[in-house]
Each structure stands twice: as structure tokens, then as C-alpha cells.
Amino acid sequence: MSRKQIVILCVLGLAAIGALLYGFGVFHGATPPKMLMRMEPIVNRKTGRRIMQPTFGFSAPVRITSLRVYDAKAYAEQGEKAVPVWALVGKPISVPLRGFHYGQFIRKMKLEKKGHRPVQLIRDHRYCLVMKTDRGVLKMSFTYGPQRQPPR
């Protein structure tokens, strides 16, 4: 092979690798991440007691711009016009998260309305989480209460 053919093969090889990396980055970021909810004990800093709080996790880091938890019945009837039980809004350059728990104050985010603290969730009641992220809108319905442990 001549020197010219070797250079052409190297350039084509680098272009193919670049196209693969670009395609992986574009298509990987286009799919919304999977969301998981489970109940975990959180220690209350004021009282020292452990309380069960819903914890939400993602399969990939997401940048949240808006986060609202609604009563499921009110959300089904009124949609986005319903009054949320917890609402945070953030800057477009918010921190990428892998997870959070209900009521947590997330860095670079603030309460939607000043003084509107998270409402204590009612046991065995349905709620709807709606988040606007860099990867689109994520919605999840959940019931607040203890989770059943699988038999051992």
C-alpha cells in the first residue's frame, strides 16, 4: 500500500469512530431515563426520628427544571391547573441528579411559591409526580405507604 492509501484509510477510520461516538451521544440522550420509586427511611434532623419517605431514582442523570407532586385525583380532573402538594422550580442549568426524596431541597432549585413547604403525604393515597427535564417530561403515579417485601 502506498503512503496516500494509508492516510486515506486512517482518515476514514477516524471519521467512522467520530460518527459512532456522535450517534451514541445524540441517541442516548434522546431517550427518557427510566424512573423508580421506593420507600426509604430518612432521619428527621430536628427530631432525630426515622420517617419513611418516597425516594425517586433514575437510570441516568437528569437536569430537572420543574418538579411538582399532585394529588392524583385532582391532577386527573384539572391537569396542570391543580394545586401541587410540593413544587420546585429550577434554573435551566440545574445540577444533574440520579435521585432525590420527597421534600428534599435540591441545589439550584427553589420553592415555586415562597413559604409553600411540602405537605405531609397521606398514607395509602395516590399522588402524581410531574417533572420537566432536559430529556422531556417525566410522569409517574405512586401510592404513599409501606411497600410489601417479597417473601424470602
Beta partners for residue 101, in sequence order = 55
Q: Which pLDDT score, from 0 to 100, does residue 68 have?
A: 92
Q: Which pLDDT score, from 0 to 100, does residue 29 have?
A: 57
Q: Which pLDDT score, from 0 to 100, does residue 24 have?
A: 61
d(CA 81, CA 74): 9
Q: Which pLDDT score, from 0 to 100, does residue 48 have?
A: 83
Beta partners for residue 70, in sequence order = 128
Give one word for 25, left, alpha or beta, with left for phi > 0 and alpha for psi -120 to 50.
alpha
Q: Which pLDDT score, from 0 to 100, does residue 31 have?
A: 66
The segments of the chain whose pLDDT lies below 70 read 21-31, 92-94, 146-152
Q: Grid coordinates in use for 82?
A: 391543580
d(CA 66, CA 85): 14
